[in-house]
Amino acid sequence: MCKHGFDINERISKYNNQAPLSIFTSKNYSIAMLGVLVKHGARFDFQDNSGQTCVHIACQSGIADPVFEFIINNSPDSCLNIRNQSGGTPLDLIYLSTYEQASLSRLRRLHLLLARKGSKLTRY
């Protein structure tokens, strides 16, 4: 991809200026495809027009657990406390979205996974 002139971190205006890693995360692409992006230098810290990174998107949307785990386990610690334009960290978004959509056991699991990497709850 990269040797053919494709910028792995190019922001796509059609998708709120998200980079491919964020788009593929939100669309629940396979871990293999996400791995290709990461292998070729996809950055976890790129924010879209709303300040969302792929980590925010993984925490906010109803993606499959393996995709969530891939994003969390491969993202640098520095990305886990980036705030979006509303001031929310990824952990804040987990609390908000799991309260509305998921079971208490999923909330605990996601919270523990993020807490191990040092993510902070700031808003809820």
What tens digit of pLDDT does each residue of 55-94 get?
999 888 677 888 888 998 899 988 888 999 999 998 888 7
Q: How far apart are CA 17 and CA 91, in angstroms?
A: 22
> DSSP 3-state assignment of 104?
helix
25 in a structural domain: yes
What is the C-alpha end-to-end distance of the chain, expressed in Å?
Answer: 41
CATH of the domain at 73: 1.25.40.20
Q: How far apart are CA 19 and CA 8, in angstroms?
A: 8
84 in a structural domain: yes
Length of the chain: 124
68 in a structural domain: yes
82 in a structural domain: yes
The least confident of 19-23, 82-86, 98-102, 112-116 is 98-102
122 in a structural domain: no
**What pLDDT shows up at residue 94?**
79
21 in a structural domain: yes
| pLDDT tens figures, 21-62 | 999 999 988 999 999 999 999 999 999 999 999 999 988 867
Residue 2 in this model has a pLDDT that exceeds 70:
no
Label residue 118 by pLDDT band (50, 70, 90).
confident
**What pLDDT shows up at residue 50?**
96
Domain range for 99: 9-116
The domain tally of the chain equals: 1
> DSSP 3-state assignment of 18?
strand
Amino acid at the residue 106? R
Q: How far from 59 is each of 10, 43, 86, 93, CA to CA, in Å?
A: 22, 17, 15, 6
The mean pLDDT of 102-107, rounded to a whole number, is 68
39 in a structural domain: yes
Give the predicted TM-score (pTM) of the model: 0.82
3 in a structural domain: no
